[in-house]
Chain A
Amino acid sequence: MGSQSEQRGGSARGPGLGLVVEGITKSFGSGRDRALAIADLSVEVPRGRFATVIGPSGCGKSTLLKVVAGLAEADAGTISLFGDAPEQARANKRLGYVPQRPALLPWRTVLENVRFPFQVNRRAGTLATRRPEEVLTSVGLGEVLGRRPHELSGGMQQRVAIARAFAFEPSLLVMDEPFSALDELTRESLRHQLLALWEADQKTVLFVTHSVTEAVVLSDLVIVMSGPPGRVHSVVPVELPRPRGATLEGSEEVQELERVVRRELSAAVAAGEQAQ
């Protein structure tokens, strides 16, 4: 990866600004129905790190992701993606968004779906170094390039959605519970495919999950949220060696970290109940 990618927001792990969220407040509705979804939330994810967001249902995780991705506007606060505002990052196509459901285009084949990001907002261009076919092959979909989404299992569809976000090599990947609709076994295998994909070029990632194991196994830092209104309760660093294989799961270190995250999570839930 050359210096160009460094200038344009960079994909390599290293010094420099990552994702900086400062004092974000976001409410829905107006007048008496106005409800605070996020209150004065600040958090930082260094460039090239994998961060997961975990917290009780309704605490504002999806809202945070949408604000970061520039899909919703915050009432107050600032967000910087490698020095750019979310709108700028969007305009430059530096943002990959993976929603909870695969959200594929049913009339397009697997390959055409992954090509979609290349076909819109062409002015921004991409920094892609690999062809969509290669990315799809690396997540085990090389044999089904010509199939349409309805011919795939839920797990395969979700892999297409992830490949779609990775293939154009954005600087920041934002994923909202991409595995939540899958069974445990599929989930585990996708987790490792995602890790392999990510470890290949280490983008900055913000990943929402409800699974403590997933949070520990995937990330460099676990952001535990409380709410509503959403706040950062604590940030748990995960300093497990990489690359992380399937053998890591169930190991002593992982279990210890899971205990820590679980404890923080209960504390966050208790804090949320007290606030109400």
Chain B
Amino acid sequence: MSDSPPGAGAAVEPMALRAWRASRAGSWLPTLVALAVVAGVWQLVALHNPSVLPTVPQVFREIADHPGLFARDTGATLRETAVGALVAGDGAFLLAVAMSELPLVERAIMPLAVALNVTPVVAIAPALTLILGFGAAPRYVVTGIVVFFPFLINCLVGLRSVDPEVLEVARSLNASRAEVLWRLRIPSSLPLLFAAARICLPLAVVGAVVAEFSTSGSSSGLGSQIVIAEQYAELPTIFASILLLAAIGIALTLATFALERWLLGWHRAARGLGVR
């Protein structure tokens, strides 16, 4: 916003431009232009280096030619990501509640959680495959491990983010711990919980793909497809899979945004006011 007096801008700015700015289409336009530029550059590079990069139409044709196959693999990876993240997220939330209520639990579990977090998942995945077999199990576990720690930490911080003066008011009313948890701590933690979900879901996709890399021989999934296609140097298949992985990440992020907008209108609005 400029700080010129109201009305001054109206004379300078044509009506049509203002209408366009106000419309929602306007807010998407920069994104679309940027996408078009990237696609254009890609196409140029691909045309000059056919052995390294497939052209944009080639990638889309690849998907269109094998819809069933890609649908199956996308579905598998999406399922691994969603189920792994959901189970691990719920577990992390429950553990965070236990930790915030019982310091003993925090002292017992936190070092383990940190150790698990600093161990690279890429290194754990093959071992898990040997232990759990080449099925879907290690994929869910790896995805879960990736999500677990960031979610745990964010939940814990969120549960502790209640305004201390609000806690004093609750204490002056002799509110029970359960009441404080249910009516104050959990609602206060929701904004951080969603922030965590936005970080963790793309990470979960990474986890699923890493797990698929080490179980590629026997199962479906976009990560498996990439490994197999790599052996035959099938560039369009590789890039089609990458494109679909990006689509999964975007879909999950948008779903989180939508849910957050619906549940946490109060928080977004309050934050908006704070910035002004």
Residues in chain A within 8 A of chain B (CB atoms): 66, 69-71, 90-91, 93, 95-97, 99-101, 103-107, 116-117, 119-121, 124, 148-151, 164, 174
Contacts and interface: CB of A to CB of B under 8 A. Distances in A.
Contacts of A96: 172
B228 interface: no
A148 B266 CA distance: 7
Nearest to A97: B172
Nearest to B172: A97
B169 A150 contact: no
B272 to A, nearest CB: 8
Interface string B168-191: 111111111001000110010010
Of B168, B172, B175, B187, chain A has the most CB atoms within 10 Å of the CB of: B172
Contacts of B184: 105
28 contacts: A69-B172, A70-B172, A71-B172, A90-B171, A93-B173, A99-B165, A99-B169, A100-B165, A103-B163, A103-B165, A103-B168, A105-B187, A106-B270, A107-B187, A107-B266, A116-B169, A117-B173, A119-B179, A120-B176, A121-B173, A121-B174, A121-B175, A121-B179, A124-B174, A148-B266, A149-B270, A151-B269, A174-B172
A151 B267 CA distance: 12
B273 interface: yes
Contacts of A100: 165
A164 B165 CA distance: 14
Interface of B: 163, 165-166, 168-176, 179, 183-184, 187, 190, 264, 266-267, 269-270, 273
Contacts of A174: 172
Contacts of B163: 103
Nearest to A104: B166
B189 to A, nearest CB: 11
Nearest to A168: B173
A41 to B, nearest CB: 20
Contact of B267 (A90, A99, A107): A107
Contacts of B267: 106-107
B186 to A, nearest CB: 10
A67 to B, nearest CB: 12
A120 B179 contact: yes
Contact of A148 (B168, B176, B190, B269): B269
A117 to B, nearest CB: 5
A124 B267 CA distance: 32
A107 to B, nearest CB: 5
Most A CB contacts (10 A, CB to CB) among B171, B173, B187 go to B173
Given A106-B267, A106-B270, A107-B266, A120 B165 contact: no
Contacts of A149: 270
Contacts of A150: 266, 269-270, 273
B183 A116 contact: yes
B168 A71 contact: yes
A154 to B, nearest CB: 12
B141 to A, nearest CB: 35
Nearest to A148: B266
Most buried by A among B163, B174, B269: B174
B206 to A, nearest CB: 33
Nearest to A164: B169
Contacts of A120: 170, 173-176, 179, 183
A150 B264 CA distance: 13
Nearest to B163: A103
B171 A119 contact: no
Nearest to A109: B266
Nearest to B171: A71
A90 to B, nearest CB: 5
Given A106-B270, A120-B175, A120-B176, 19 more contacts: A66-B168, A70-B172, A71-B171, A90-B172, A91-B174, A93-B174, A97-B169, A99-B165, A100-B165, A103-B165, A104-B166, A105-B166, A107-B264, A119-B179, A119-B183, A120-B173, A121-B176, A121-B179, A151-B269
- 5 shortest interchain CB distances as A-B pairs: A97-B172, A120-B175, A103-B165, A150-B270, A99-B165
B72 to A, nearest CB: 42
B177 to A, nearest CB: 11
Contacts of A104: 166
Nearest to A116: B183
Contact of B270 (A71, A103, A117, A148): A148
A49 B170 CA distance: 25
A105 to B, nearest CB: 7
Contacts of A148: 266, 269-270
A195 to B, nearest CB: 23
Contacts of A93: 173-174
Given A105-B187, A150-B273, A99 B176 contact: no
